[in-house]
Structure 1
């Protein structure tokens, strides 16, 4: 992973499967990496961060090697519990944004639940209701 925008195909594939089940979500290139949006709002962003090169994310995640980072939104009552330990951390921006190191053995079922919640938080009510 030589560039911050590089995200392994396996990670993108899993995220595509999850996001395909969310009404009207769309994938697009972000300033770095890839993001999925509901209308004009980003509910998940994934990229590769490198220690010492990515300022706020590198420091927040305490990186020692290139690492795939995913950010998403969380409800206030879930935020504190999530950011209390690995692989999660408080993202460098936003009051409701969680950062997650996407490490080997990631639980994609859990990721799916977290991203569905992020989607519901940002989607119009009629679309949010369609997500179980």
Structure 2
């Protein structure tokens, strides 16, 4: 990791096609085409933990929370929709894995035409 968790998460989110960032509910949040949220930063907003919340494919939230509740959780407000919470205050964050989680979140929200651009160079 070369920066803070926020800087790393920002880098991953903004690398995706037509992604923007703005504050939402007082936290940095990333949007597809400025409209649909796919990742929300959670800097101690609802508890004393640093995390992010993101869209997730069906069943992934339940699978990851059951597998590793020290790293993953069901976030408030959006958890009932299958969104995943990922703690960023744990030791040994695997940023490649976080990048895959962020890309999966994007795929859940972005239109097909933008998802297709993810695999295209430049």
TM-score range, shorter chain: 0.7 to 0.9
Deviations 1:64-100 (A, max 9, x none): xx32120001111322211212210111123121111
Q: Deviations over 1:3-44 (max 9, x none)?
A: xxxxxx611210122123200001111212201110211111
SS in 1 for 2:25: coil
What is the rounded CA distance, in whole Å, between the counterparts of 2:58 and 2:114 in structure 1? 21
Secondary structure of 2:96 counterpart = helix
**Which of structure 1's runs of 4+ aligned residues deviate more than 6 A?**
none
Aligned residues: 111
Compute the TM-score of the two structures, normalised by the length of structure 1: 0.76
Alpha carbons 1:69, 1:100 under 8 Å: kept: yes
Partner in structure 1 of residue 87 of structure 2:
101
Q: RMSD value over aligned CA atoms?
A: 1.6
**Among 4, 7, 12, the residue aligned to 1:10:** 4
For the residues of structure 2 that align with 1:129 and 1:110, how far apart are their CA atoms?
Answer: 21
1:101 Cα deviation from its structure 2 partner:
1.3
**Residue of structure 1 equivalent to 2:37:** 42
Distance 2:24 2:13 in 1: 16
Please give the alpha-carbon distance, in whole angstroms, between the structure 2 residues aligned to 1:16 and 1:89. 21
| Residue ranges of structure 1 left out of the alignment (5+ in a row) | 1-8, 59-65
**Is 2:119 aligned against 1:119?**
no
TM-score by length of 2: 0.81
Unaligned runs of 5+ residues in structure 2 are none
Q: Per-residue deviation at 1:121?
A: 0.6
2:104 & 2:95 partners in 1: Cα distance? 14
